[in-house]
Amino acid sequence: MRSLPRRVPPLYAPFIHPKHTTRIQLSNATSLPPWTRSFHASSSVRVVDLSYRLHDDSGKADGDPIVMIHGLFGSKRNNQSVGNAFARILKRPVYALDTRNHGDSPHDKDHNYIALAKDVEAFLAKHSLHNATLIGHSMGAKTVMAMALRNPDCCANIIPIDNAPVDAALSTDFPKYAQGMQHVEKSQPKSQKEADMLMEPYANVLPVRQFLLSNLWRPEPGGPLKFRIPVHVLTKSLDKMADFPFTNPDETQFTKRALFIRGTKSHYVSDEMLPIIGRFFPRFELVDIDCGHWVISEKPDEFIKSVVEFLQEKEET
């Protein structure tokens, strides 16, 4: 069953809670594209060259590009199966990125939404990606929202997954995950099983633990496992990941289409946040999926169908 697009009134207007519906639905400096603008005092941020994986259905996907951005502690590997599905179904190439300090992308001491947005903007320019759909989960969701508000010309539409354009505390799980990863790193485990035992007190859900420990690698044969991500940098940046760089929707809006997907068992996009989403993104549509914060991994089929229907609507109009 499809849900209707949700139009949310300004904050001063009476607010009606929407019904929950299921819409089965290399560290080289890179020049910035000409349309970029700086957030506040962001001119000192160094742009890094992002690693990516292209999903193009063996060269048969030649439509407008889709760019996917993972969440905190994730990587491009998290979006491999859905990237393949979008390329096959929509015949659009999908670029799954590693953000700075994640996956195979360079590390940098700055990790905030200014830096993340600039990196992806530079990636779009470097690869001449126009009329793109930007999809992001959690940290990636705030990144694509910031890019859209920063300059709407950078994309055709956005799909933020389980995050909102507000300053809001991260789930207490994330500091625990960071603490656990630091514990694992200091303990220098020799095997994945040992690392799993060390991590279990900090992340008792096995799929989450496997997700976090997927960042481990063995730099030297016979040596201890280490995290390929700079855990100390990301731990120090947790407060910045809770922030959002735009605060005044009367000054900045994205008037193109936006599909917000949230997990009904997650607290990251509450009903009380919908009015501010509507002010920043007046054409936004809302889809609820019966799951927690990890929408893509928990309900991949429903997520894929939601995105496909949204993007196919665009092609039909």
Active site residues: 138, 293
Q: Distance (Å, rounded) from C-alpha 229 to C-alpha 234?
A: 8
Query: Nearest-CA neighbor of 146 among 250, 310, 280?
Result: 280
- Contact criterion met (CB below 8 Å) for 23 and 287: yes
Neighbouring residues of 20: CB distance < 8 A, sequence distance ≥ 6: 264, 288
Q: Helical H runs in the chain?
A: 80-90, 113-126, 139-150, 173-187, 192-199, 206-213, 231-236, 238-242, 274-280, 295-298, 300-316
Return the structure tokens found at 240.
């910045």
Dihedral, 78, 82, 84, 90 alpha carbons, nearest 10: -150
Kindly state the DSSP code that residue 301 receives in the 8-state scheme.
H
Q: E strand or H helix at 159, and its extent?
A: strand 157-161
- Contact criterion met (CB below 8 Å) for 231 and 175: no
Q: What is the per-residue DSSP string for 40-72?
A: SS-TTPPP----EEEE-TTTT--SS-EEEE--T
Question: What does DSSP say about strands 258-263 and 284-289: parallel, antiparallel, or unpaired?
Answer: parallel
Q: Which residue has the tokens 């917000």?
A: 260
Question: What does DSSP say about strands 66-69 and 133-137: parallel, antiparallel, or unpaired?
Answer: parallel
Q: Is 235 helix (H, G, I), strand (E, B) or coil?
A: helix
